[in-house]
Structure 1
Amino acid sequence: MTSNRHNGIFEGVDFVTVLLYVLIVAAGWLSITSASYDEGAADFFSFSHFYMKQLVWIGAAWIVAVVVLLLDARVYHMFAYPAYFAGLAMLAAALLFGREVNGAKAWFEFGSFRVQPVEFAKIATALALARVMSNYSFSIGRPGDLFKVGMVVCAPLLIIVLQNDTGSGIVLGSFLFVLYREGLNKWLCIPVLLIAALFIFSFLLSPMTLLVSLILVCTLSEAMMNGLWRSRIVYLASLALAGILLCLVSQLVAPGVLDLYHALLIVTVLSLAAVAVYAFRANLSNVFITLGLFVGSLVFLPTTDYIFNSILKEHQQNRILSFLGIINDPQGVDYNVNQSKIAIGSGGLWGKGFLEGTQIKYGFVPERHTDFIFCTVGEEWGFAGAAVILSLLCLLILRLMRMGERQEEPFGRIYCYSVAAILLFHVLVNVGMTVGLMPVMGIPLPFMSYGGSSLIAFTILLFIAVRLDASTRQFSMNKI
């Protein structure tokens, strides 16, 4: 039977998600207060302090959250495309007329107030992606539809890269998780991961070692793909052994004509034809996928030097080289991360206490109230406090995934998973860079780092998902 109950603003709202949001925002404000508090300041409540400014932004974010909940859920579906094109226009305007901050021309400045359009462009991209993929005729296995998805993600990504805000652009790569959840073939996901791995290992390994590693990885993965792996691994291993022997013979017969690397490269390329013939005769389509990945890797490898030297800026190059341990500059590019690890490590199990963090208080950690806010958590609240914060963030992400699974419409499911993917990427990168597990990218910690545009954008991103979920729950309750 149908219920005649009036649908209030909070009916159907997932209050667990809202509570997690409130707790994380409150923890962020306490961390910002501790990171920016000045004992010599005369007025604790002066709005010149970062924590008082953030308090104003928190109040504004809560008002925005209520407005988002007041709007009908259908509004977000209807205006997904207009919001997306508005986001692209803002990104382009920032590129042309914005202010450059930390090497990235990605900000609008209005007096003392600054806005970073990319934070809102993430919302628009998530909505547009959900709109495209929720069409009745959409099929993720159809090349044309997959091309549409690629264009939705790559258009803002291109502008963001041109802004020299590569860190924010990489966040859009988190949508790959959403595509995989919606049924994207794993063989289309692997090339993206392979490109990232090749880019990293091209700095760590010699060309010879990298080529041999590629041969071994592709051979083993192909040999174990199907049940006939024994006969196939014998064939492929024999081919690899023959190639190595031919390389050695070439060095003995004509030393100095070709070095070992180029000899192996030539033999490998010639062997690809033999493998292709074998796959065609045995009707093994998966072999062609592996061959495609291998050939694509060989083509991509020479471009890594161009990408590194011509596209990335000097500070981005130094961050990558420092992260990989190729350069060591304790007073330069490594300074932020070293001080961050010292601050977190000095917190011990229970921390030094609120406003008692010496590394934070005396300014040893730069950007301690923005990108490195997790250092304040680690030093003052210790391992226990850091674990609590990470648990809250993980619970929020898991809650979003649960909200996505109970959506009856694809639009809501895809959007909820998009929000979860964006938050997960931000948390992994931000926390990872503070402990030295990721290169420094300038990505804020959601709901905790100082910044009005960041907080409001993340609030809108989250509460649209809450509103879509509330609409689904209202519909389910009214059917009872």
Structure 2
Amino acid sequence: MYRENTRRFKLDWITIILFLLLVCFGWLNILSASSSGEIVSYFDMGERYGKQLVFMLFTLVLIILVLSIEAKFYERFASIIYLASMLSLLGLFVFGKHVNGATSWYAIGGMTIQPSEFAKFATALAVAKYISDLQTNIKDLKDQIKTSLIVLVPAILILLQNDAGSTLVYASFFFVFYREGIPQIYLIIGLILLVLAVSSLKFLALPTAIGATTIIFLHYFFIRKRKKQIFQPILISVMSIGLVFGVQFFYKNILQKHQQDRITLWLRLEKDPVKLEQMKKSISYNLNESEKAIGSGEFWGKGFMEGTRTTGKFVPEQDTDYIFSTVGEEWGFLGSSLVVILFVLLILRILFLAEQQKSQFSRVYGYSVASILFFHFFINIGMVMGLIPTIGIPLPFFSYGGSSLWGFTLLLFIFIKLDSNRINEW
């Protein structure tokens, strides 16, 4: 009996240890970023490090709950969990709290809950459920459209709440679809669309449209030599032109001023060097201070709670979106490399386990977890280092926030539970 119980509760402790290292190291950096170097009271609920510690304690309860539920529950009730999550996103339009320009939170007592953080694992479950259905063929166009709609619904709802950063995360599901067998042409089309979108902003819409149309017709008539297939190149050209002018319209009429400025600065769309420098100073304060903080840490760092820019509050939102700058200043290149290595190891471990799964549902869900974590990790660190435009998304398990920590914990530990079901099968 003892051996049976031991086998039944066997878990992948490598993944769990990586998770614990990230959460604990993240809390140390939140402590530095939200204090001013004075003596701290760890459970001070007036400070963010105190609140985060309480969030971590509740996380342990959440982990126990997730692991105690039968693994089949997540597959059986995936659709219901997804529907409940979408209803919570819809409810924000009526009951949501407006914070920092976005209506993404419910105010419950003295705390706020962000449903978009929980929508990620709900969407991952729904995608895994649909793709693993025996009647689903991901190579069939009809099923590709249905699967895409599962992802697009929460993405659109979150975008309408003016949370562009969280919306972009849903692009990570493309990697999942690609792993499950969608044609390679979609990857090529995606890259072409990205090039057209950037080109339409950088070189204007009309020259980009003319260039794209010319290349399409040259490809069909001179390279592939299919002169009789006139309808196909015309259709692709019309779609390309629509995309090019659509991106311009979205950039000028849909995006808010600060979002336009970030893209303008990233692509250097402003030709006047004086105006460009003024724009850089006005909208890149966070980024400039973040880069200075990281650079000042050099190789070894200044030491825990010894970062002058961190304790001096030079970097706004340093315990949330810019938490990595705290690592760079106080722990230096060595500590920053350690954080990157931990994330890479975690993501690779999840991918490795996903490939070991015996059910397609568990494999698809595992790839969804890895893709979402990679997207957050890549975007957040790239943003802090100035490699990509500023996009407000947290660093998983690291940034301050109860919703973020709980959402990522649910995302990860549901997969750990699914994997334990594989390990403990007779």
TM-score, normalised relative to structure 2 = 0.92
Per the TM alignment, residue 141 of structure 1 is displaced from its structure 2 partner at its CA by 1.3
Partner of 1:269: none
Residues in 2 aligned to 1:27 and 1:42: alpha-carbon distance in whole angstroms: 17
For residues 31-72 of structure 1, give each alpha carbon's deviation from its aligned partner in whole angstroms, at most 9, with x where no partner exists: 101111233567465222211111111111122112111111
* Residues 3-12 or 371-380, more deviating: 3-12
Aligned-partner SS, 2:350: helix
Aligned-partner SS, 2:290: helix
Asked if the contact 1:351/1:381 (under 8 Å) is kept, the reply is: yes
Residues in 2 aligned to 1:112 and 1:315: alpha-carbon distance in whole angstroms: 30
Partner of 2:335: 385
Partner of 1:464: 414
Question: Is residue 2:289 matched to residue 1:339?
Answer: yes
For residues 175-221 of structure 1, give each alpha carbon's deviation from its aligned partner in whole angstroms, at most 9, with x where no partner exists: 0000000001121233333333322221211456534653676589x
Asked if the contact 1:7/1:474 (under 8 Å) is kept, the reply is: no
Per the TM alignment, residue 82 of structure 1 is displaced from its structure 2 partner at its CA by 0.6
Per the TM alignment, residue 166 of structure 1 is displaced from its structure 2 partner at its CA by 1.3
Residues in 1 aligned to 2:192 and 2:227: alpha-carbon distance in whole angstroms: 25
Kindly report which structure 2 residues correspond to 1:46-57, keeping only aligned pairs within 5 A, or say none.
46-57=44-55
Residues in 2 aligned to 1:467 and 1:129: alpha-carbon distance in whole angstroms: 18
Aligned-partner SS, 1:6: helix
Aligned-partner SS, 1:436: coil
Partner of 2:272: none
Residues in 1 aligned to 2:387 and 2:26: alpha-carbon distance in whole angstroms: 22
Q: 2:86 aligns with which of 76, 88, 112?
A: 88
Residues in 1 aligned to 2:209 and 2:320: alpha-carbon distance in whole angstroms: 41
Partner of 2:243: 300
Residues in 1 aligned to 2:212 and 2:226: alpha-carbon distance in whole angstroms: 17
User: Identity of counterpart residues, as a percentage?
Assistant: 40
Residues in 2 aligned to 1:17 and 1:438: alpha-carbon distance in whole angstroms: 29
Aligned length: 419
Partner of 2:381: 431
Counterpart of 2:168, as a letter, is: I
TM-score, normalised relative to structure 1 = 0.82
Aligned-partner SS, 2:196: helix
Aligned-partner SS, 1:310: helix
Partner of 1:321: 264
Per the TM alignment, residue 278 of structure 1 is displaced from its structure 2 partner at its CA by 4.7
Residues in 2 aligned to 1:42 and 1:336: alpha-carbon distance in whole angstroms: 26
Question: Is residue 2:400 matched to residue 1:450?
Answer: yes
Gapped runs of 5+ residues in structure 1? 224-231, 238-274, 281-286
Partner of 2:29: 31
Residues in 2 aligned to 1:365 and 1:40: alpha-carbon distance in whole angstroms: 18
For residues 392-434 of structure 1, give each alpha carbon's deviation from its aligned partner in whole angstroms, at most 9, with x where no partner exists: 0011011111111011110000000000000000001100100
Higher Cα radius of gyration: 1
Aligned-partner SS, 1:431: helix
Residues in 1 aligned to 2:128 and 2:185: alpha-carbon distance in whole angstroms: 22
Partner of 1:244: none
Q: 2:135 aligns with which of 127, 137, 150?
A: 137
Partner of 1:353: 303
Structure 1 residues 460, 183: CA separation in 2 closer, same or farther (over 3 Å shift)?
same
Asked if the contact 1:337/1:434 (under 8 Å) is kept, the reply is: yes
Per the TM alignment, residue 298 of structure 1 is displaced from its structure 2 partner at its CA by 1.9
For residues 216-272 of structure 1, give each alpha carbon's deviation from its aligned partner in whole angstroms, at most 9, with x where no partner exists: 76589x59xxxxxxxx8xx359xxxxxxxxxxxxxxxxxxxxxxxxxxxxxxxxxxx
Aligned-partner SS, 2:98: strand
Aligned-partner SS, 1:331: helix
Per the TM alignment, residue 7 of structure 1 is displaced from its structure 2 partner at its CA by 3.5
Asked if the contact 2:293/2:329 (under 8 Å) is kept, the reply is: yes
Per the TM alignment, residue 125 of structure 1 is displaced from its structure 2 partner at its CA by 0.4
Residues in 1 aligned to 2:31 and 2:341: alpha-carbon distance in whole angstroms: 22
Partner of 1:73: 71
Residues in 2 aligned to 1:441 and 1:201: alpha-carbon distance in whole angstroms: 20
Per the TM alignment, residue 6 of structure 1 is displaced from its structure 2 partner at its CA by 1.9
* Residues 126-135 or 184-193, more deviating: 184-193
Asked if the contact 2:201/2:248 (under 8 Å) is kept, the reply is: no
Structure 1 residues 21, 399: CA separation in 2 closer, same or farther (over 3 Å shift)?
same
Q: 1:113 aligns with which of 99, 111, 114?
A: 111
Residues in 1 aligned to 2:376 and 2:66: alpha-carbon distance in whole angstroms: 23
Residues in 1 aligned to 2:213 and 2:55: alpha-carbon distance in whole angstroms: 54
Asked if the contact 1:339/1:365 (under 8 Å) is kept, the reply is: yes
Counterpart of 2:392, as a letter, is: G
Per the TM alignment, residue 345 of structure 1 is displaced from its structure 2 partner at its CA by 1.2
Structure 1 residues 202, 111: CA separation in 2 closer, same or farther (over 3 Å shift)?
same
Q: RMSD of the alignment, in Å?
A: 2.3
Q: Which runs of 4+ in 1 moved over 6 A?
A: none
Counterpart of 2:348, as a letter, is: L
Structure 1 residues 351, 296: CA separation in 2 closer, same or farther (over 3 Å shift)?
same
Q: 1:203 aligns with which of 201, 205, 227?
A: 201
Aligned-partner SS, 2:181: coil
Q: 1:312 aligns with which of 243, 246, 255?
A: 255
Per the TM alignment, residue 95 of structure 1 is displaced from its structure 2 partner at its CA by 2.3
Residues in 2 aligned to 1:179 and 1:11: alpha-carbon distance in whole angstroms: 31
Aligned-partner SS, 1:302: helix
Residues in 2 aligned to 1:109 and 1:20: alpha-carbon distance in whole angstroms: 32
Gapped runs of 5+ residues in structure 2? 270-275
For residues 255-306 of structure 1, give each alpha carbon's deviation from its aligned partner in whole angstroms, at most 9, with x where no partner exists: xxxxxxxxxxxxxxxxxxxx652558xxxxxx95x77544421221111221
Partner of 2:125: 127
Aligned-partner SS, 2:174: helix
Residues in 2 aligned to 1:188 and 1:342: alpha-carbon distance in whole angstroms: 40
Aligned-partner SS, 2:4: coil
Residues in 2 aligned to 1:80 and 1:335: alpha-carbon distance in whole angstroms: 43
Structure 1 residues 157, 45: CA separation in 2 closer, same or farther (over 3 Å shift)?
closer
Aligned-partner SS, 1:277: coil
Partner of 2:273: none
Partner of 2:162: 164
Structure 1 residues 466, 367: CA separation in 2 closer, same or farther (over 3 Å shift)?
same
Per the TM alignment, residue 142 of structure 1 is displaced from its structure 2 partner at its CA by 1.2
Asked if the contact 2:205/2:245 (under 8 Å) is kept, the reply is: no
Residues in 2 aligned to 1:308 and 1:474: alpha-carbon distance in whole angstroms: 52
Question: Is residue 2:412 matched to residue 1:414?
Answer: no
